[in-house]
Amino acid sequence: MGVIAAASAVPSGESLPERTFEAVAVADARRLYSLALSILRDEGEAEDAVQETLLKTWRSWESVVRMDRPAAWLTRVCVNHCISRRRHLRSRGWPPLGLIGEAASPGDPGSAADRLDVDRAYRRLSLRQRAAITLNYRHGYSVEECAVFMGCRPGTVRAHLARGLATLRKELGDG
């Protein structure tokens, strides 16, 4: 398997010299991983999403390097991959083993148990509802920006937000 370290030079001689693939895309991998993990709730799937995003970025590098906001493009590709690709989520519907062990272990049990409850409720949401909540609530993007990232209209994002939050309130008894 080739690694990115071997491909750190930009593929086009016309690209901006300070914008290397590593500086733009690889440096953003951790943020993308958090984003993907928030939507997919599966570490393996999140890793796949980030790697697919990096691969697509590499192949489109001549265009990406000229963009004003390459991070926004990376976000869009990653979100689109998370919500559009057919996948099999092995752990969906059940909390990860780490969370179960954590909830059962002593030391701040209330907080861990809360997280377990939220995780269970969150997994009941559709991927698009999760994406809307992650992007809008957690990452602070506007509804219009979320719509761009998710490839739909703002009204659809609002609907996903409303229904997702309603489900969370219902499942968590917060309403």
Partner 1 sequence: MVDMDPGLDTKLRAFFEHIEASTPPSGLTDIDVAAPDRGRRPMFNLFAGLAAAAVVATGVAVFAIDLSSRDNPAPRPAESGPPLPRFTVHADSRVLLPVTHGKGSVTLPAFTLAPGESFYVQVACKSGTTADTVQVGQNQRFGSEVAACSSPTGGHGEWFETDQGGPSGGSVTTYVTAGPAVSWEILITDGPPPILAPPGGRALTPIAYGRGSDSVPVFTAAKTYSIALDCSGAGSLTISSSLSQAATISCAQYAQFSFTPSDQVPGQPVSLSVVAPSGVGWEVEVLEDGGPAPGTCATLHEEGVLKPTPCVASSS
Is 160 a binding residue for partner 1 by CB under 8 A? The answer is yes
Among residues 76, 87, 100, 148, the one that binds partner 1 under rule CB under 8 A? 87
Binding to partner 1 in span 107-136, by CB under 8 A:
111, 114-115, 117-119, 122-124, 126-129, 133-134, 136
Among residues 10, 24, 50, 65, the one that binds partner 1 under rule CB under 8 A? 50
- The two tokens of residue 109 are 């049990």
Is 81 a binding residue for partner 1 by CB under 8 A? The answer is no
Among residues 9, 16, 104, 162, the one that binds partner 1 under rule CB under 8 A? 162
- Helix (H) or strand (E) run with residue 128 in it: helix 127-133
Q: Which one of 12-20, 62-70, 71-79, 161-169 is the stretch in contact with partner 1 (CB under 8 A)?
A: 161-169
Among residues 29, 74, 77, 78, the one that binds partner 1 under rule CB under 8 A? 29
- What totals of helices (H) and strands (E) does the chain contain, helices first? 10, 0
**DSSP secondary structure string for all residues of 44-107:** HHHHHHHHHHHHHHHHTHHHHTT-S-HHHHHHHHHHHHHHHS----TTTTS--HHHHHHHHSSS
User: Which of 33, 35, 25, 30 has the alpha carbon at shortest distance from 5?
Assistant: 25
Please say whether the beta carbons of 82 and 127 come within 8 A: yes
Q: How far is the CB of 24 from partner 1 (least distance, A)?
A: 12
Q: For residue 11, what is the DSSP state?
A: S
Distance CA 61, CA 146 (A): 23
Binding to partner 1 in span 7-26, by CB under 8 A:
7, 26
Is 148 a binding residue for partner 1 by CB under 8 A? The answer is no
Q: How far is the CB of 64 from partner 1 (least distance, A)?
A: 14
Mask: binding to partner 1, 61-80, rule CB under 8 A, as x and -?
--------------------
